[in-house]
């Protein structure tokens, strides 16, 4: 299996972001067709952001109160052709056209407006995601990856509360796909999306004052979504101990008797603490 970082770098969304950025660079050097497409993409993003910024404090930012007709008319177009050419099914760089059906349905990219919002959220979240991915370099600790993903998503939501809430707290498609990779794709995309929507709701709500608070409030549910609370996952971790325990056994055999006694005392203390947890009748 590929290292976690390489798996995350090869997701559908990661490949899409690289392509969109490459198109933006080509636009910068003056290729007419590319300029038209990228200007349209940016223009529609700006329209959504302005619609959110124009709302009064206390408004329901989760609601979408504009239609695809509003989008193309505010963009100065007489028909929706440019909107569909940029974001519709079959469009060369439309994210919705790249995502697996399960993920697209789960995220809720069910119409043209929500498709635009999905792309906007994903690109807005991307710099946070890149910093998170950099922090994961050299580790395959999936629990750490999941916990920090939640904290980073909460940080993004705290900095962009209106956008985070928009479209019924639709999470960034990047976060949905990443959490699916972390859990080995054992959890349905719909369950992951619902959990991440809860993260966003918590992040912009009154109960959480920091990303750490958000993680604390949703942690039990995170473990359940990932399947980390299931016997199979626990046994998988136990089996991973075979190699390090074998290494300890080999090294201990090379030690002097008094050094072996010190190692034995350390092991006995750790095993005693673990046995207390194993034997605890929590569900009695």
pLDDT (0 to 100) of residue 233: 64
Give the pTM. Answer: 0.82
Q: For domain 4-226, give the fold.
A: Tetracycline Repressor; domain 2 (1.10.357)
pLDDT (0 to 100) of residue 252: 87
Joined together, the tokens standing for residue 136 give 């994961």
pLDDT (0 to 100) of residue 32: 54
Residue 38 — φ and ψ, nearest 5°? -70, -35
Joined together, the tokens standing for residue 56 give 């009064």
C-alpha to C-alpha distance for 125 and 137, rounded to whole angstroms: 19
pLDDT (0 to 100) of residue 179: 97
Residue ranges in the chain modelled with pLDDT below 50: 284
pLDDT (0 to 100) of residue 284: 45
C-alpha to C-alpha distance for 76 and 50, rounded to whole angstroms: 15
Show Cβ contacts of residue 157 under 8 Å, excluding neighbours closer than 6 positions: 164, 199, 200, 203, 204
pLDDT (0 to 100) of residue 206: 80
Of the CA atoms within 13 Å of residue 136, those in its CB half-sphere come to: 26
b/e burial code for range 17-27 (CB count within 10 A of at least 16 → b) = beebeebeeeb
pLDDT (0 to 100) of residue 69: 95
Q: Are 182 and 145 in contact (CB under 8 A)?
A: yes
């Amino acid at each position: 299996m590929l290292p976690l970082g390489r798996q995350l770098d090869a997701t559908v969304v990661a490949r899409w972001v690289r392509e969109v950025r490459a198109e933006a660079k080509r636009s910068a050097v003056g290729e007419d067709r590319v300029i038209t497409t990228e200007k349209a993409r940016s223009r529609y993003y700006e329209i959504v952001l302005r619609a959110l910024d124009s709302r009064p404090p206390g408004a329901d930012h989760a609601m979408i109160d504009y239609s695809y007709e509003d989008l193309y008319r505010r963009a100065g177009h007489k028909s929706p052709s440019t909107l569909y050419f940029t974001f519709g099914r079959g469009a060369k760089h439309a994210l919705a056209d790249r995502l697996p059906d399960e993920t697209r349905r789960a995220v809720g990219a069910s119409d043209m407006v929500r498709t635009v919002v999905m792309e906007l959220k994903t690109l807005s979240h991307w710099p946070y995601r890149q910093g998170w991915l950099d922090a994961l370099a050299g580790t395959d600790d999936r629990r750490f990856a999941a916990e920090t993903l939640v904290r980073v998503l909460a940080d993004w939501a705290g900095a962009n509360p209106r956008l985070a809430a928009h479209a019924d707290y639709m999470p960034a498609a990047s976060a949905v796909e990443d959490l699916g990779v972390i859990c080995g794709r054992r959890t349905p995309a719909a369950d992951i999306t619902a959990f991440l929507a809860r993260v966003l709701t918590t992040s912009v709500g009154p109960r959480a004052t920091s990303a750490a608070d958000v993680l604390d409030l949703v942690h039990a549910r995170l473990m359940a979504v990932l399947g980390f609370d299931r016997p199979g996952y626990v046994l998988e971790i136990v089996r991973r101990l075979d190699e390090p325990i074998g290494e300890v056994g080999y090294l201990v055999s090379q030690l002097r008797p008094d050094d072996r006694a010190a190692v034995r005392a350390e092991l006995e203390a750790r095993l005693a603490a673990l046995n207390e947890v194993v034997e605890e009748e929590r569900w009695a």
